[in-house]
Amino acid sequence: MLYGELPKKSDLQRVKNKLDESFEVPDQAINLIYSLPKESETIGLMEAAFGVLAAIYNPTWEKAKNKDIAIEIVAKTATILANIYRAKEGLKPRIPQPSESLARSFLEAAFGGHVEDKKVKAMDIALILYTDHEVPASTTAGLVAASTLSDLYSCIVAALSALKGPLHGGAAEEAFKQFVEIGSPEKVDEWFKTNILDKKKRLMGFGHRVYRTFDPRGKIFKKYAEELASGNEQVKKYLDIAERLEKLGVETFSGKGVYPNTDFYSGIVFYGIGFPIYMFTGIFALSRTLGWLAHFIEYVEEQHRLIRPRALYVGPSQRDYVPLENRG
Ligand code: ACO
């Protein structure tokens, strides 16, 4: 993703070593996470922590260093997110430790102990599926910041701000909230009619600016949701609800090219791994950080130009200045 080629063994080891030695983050960032109210929203907490890192590190752009900084940021994102979970759950800080994968290091820091292979595998797959996807709103927002030569940590803050919204990265949380609201598979049809059809509302986790058919990532998430559902009745219930809702959604909206997107089933995977809903967008951010950074670095190193759109003014051609006391 970052280097454009699959690595040789020695390159992979170098990147892995860099990742493993970069999990530490300044105490001020950790303290900030633990000092804010437990109800604080996850992406806001990530922005705050990255704001601290931007203030402390403020790295300049240097071709020889940019990609190493990117690896450091990926590692620190895992630390920040694991500690957001721990702070919100009333647990003590914990720094991820080197392991065979970023997925395992992250999960074991968050949950504070050994995590079963099935969950680590699902997390690893989620990290891959969400890594990059062309130039959605978050990547675009970060690219605008990068184009000004702002530092890489600040570019992550810009990208996080755009990811947060329910029309983009926030959709997995919104999709899952629908399943929770529905409550049981036999209530899906009635819920769909009352809440989507009658109110003419959008089905969350459906539709995509680029895909006019099934999002291929969604199919893989569904497979892992099925694996996590075996032996877990609660996950199975949400999966059954989602499958029925997917069927109704496709029957109703496919004529407009609106199908389930990647966020429809991803929440069930995150829930099956053991995370509450408030972590879903943060996990998306953890995976997407690498893709964002690859875009920012490519843009600045290869085709750098300030991104500055123009606006087309369509208002009146002249308006006289009226003093405040005469404005009625
Ligand atoms: N449910 C029902 N109808 C929908 C949905 C939906 N989720 N999405 C689009 N439509 C309909 C629109 O109402 C519109 O119908 P109309 O032509 O009769 O007015 C038509 O499909 C086209 O919609 P647009 O808004 O033009 O599609 P656009 O490409 O702008 O929207 C978006 C993409 C924002 C993702 C939209 O599908 C949506 O709001 N989905 C719900 C939120 C969501 O799941 N976002 C995650 C996206 S994937 C990601 O970020 C990883």
Look at 181 and 328; give whichever has higher pLDDT.
Answer: 181
Query: Taking 90 as the threshold, does the pLDDT of residue 63 lie above it?
Result: yes
> Which helix H or strand E contains 223, and what residues bound it?
helix 216-229
Sorted by sequence, the CB contacts under 8 Å of residue 20 that are 6+ apart come out as 75, 98, 105
Residue of 138, 199, 201, 209 best suited for mutating to test ligand 1, as the one with most atoms within 8 Å of CB: 209
Instruction: Write down the pLDDT at residue 243.
Output: 97
Q: What is the mean pLDDT of the chain?
A: 97
How many residues in the chain?
A: 328
Instruction: Write down the pLDDT at residue 93.
Output: 98
Give residue 88's Cα distance to chain centre: 18
Choose, from 132, 208, 215, 295, the residue flagged as catalytic.
208
Query: Taking 90 as the threshold, does the pLDDT of residue 328 lie above it?
Result: no
pLDDT tens, 216-267?
A: 999 999 999 999 999 999 999 999 999 999 999 999 999 999 999 999 999 9
Q: Three-class SS of residue 260? A: strand
Ligand 1 center–CA 155 separation, angstroms: 27
Angle, to 10 degrees, between the axis of helix 152-163 and the axis of helix 137-147? 150
Nearest residue (CA) to ligand 1, atom 49: 168
Could you report how far apart the first and last alpha carbons of the chain are, in Å?
60
Evaluate whether 284 touches 172 at the Cβ level (below 8 Å): yes
Give residue 165's Cα distance to chain centre: 10
Per-residue pLDDT band at 169 (split at 50, 70, 90): very high
Instruction: Write down the pLDDT at residue 303.
Output: 86
Whether 208 sits among the annotated catalytic residues: the reply is yes
Nearest residue (CA) to ligand 1, atom 41: 204
Choose, from 263, 295, 304, 320, the residue flagged as catalytic.
263
Instruction: Write down the pLDDT at residue 119.
Output: 98
Integer Cα distance of 295 and 282 in angstroms:
19
Evaluate whether 119 touches 273 at the Cβ level (below 8 Å): yes
Locate the ligand 1 atom nearest the alpha carbon of residue 284 and give its number.
51
Give residue 48's Cα distance to chain centre: 16
Whether 215 sits among the annotated catalytic residues: the reply is no
Identify the sign of the CA torsion 119, 113, 89, 41.
Answer: negative
Q: Residue 257, class by beta-carbon neighbours within 10 Å (0-12 exposed, 13-18 middle, 19+ buried)?
A: exposed
Residue of 164, 208, 270 best suited for mutating to test ligand 1, as the one with most atoms within 8 Å of CB: 208
Domains and CATH numbers, the chain: 9-165+277-303 (1.10.580.10), 171-273 (1.10.230.10)
| Token digits of residue 91 | 């647990």
Ligand 1: list residues with CB < 6 Å: 136, 167-168, 171, 202-209, 253, 256, 258, 261-263
Evaluate whether 272 touches 236 at the Cβ level (below 8 Å): no
Nearest residue (CA) to ligand 1, atom 16: 256
In the block, residue with structure tokens 């997995």: 172
pLDDT tens, 40-56?
A: 999 999 999 999 999 99
Q: Three-class SS of residue 169? A: coil
Nearest residue (CA) to ligand 1, atom 2: 202
Locate the ligand 1 atom nearest the alpha carbon of residue 215 and give its number.
48
Nearest residue (CA) to ligand 1, atom 21: 256
Per-residue pLDDT band at 69 (split at 50, 70, 90): very high
Instruction: Write down the pLDDT at residue 287.
Output: 98
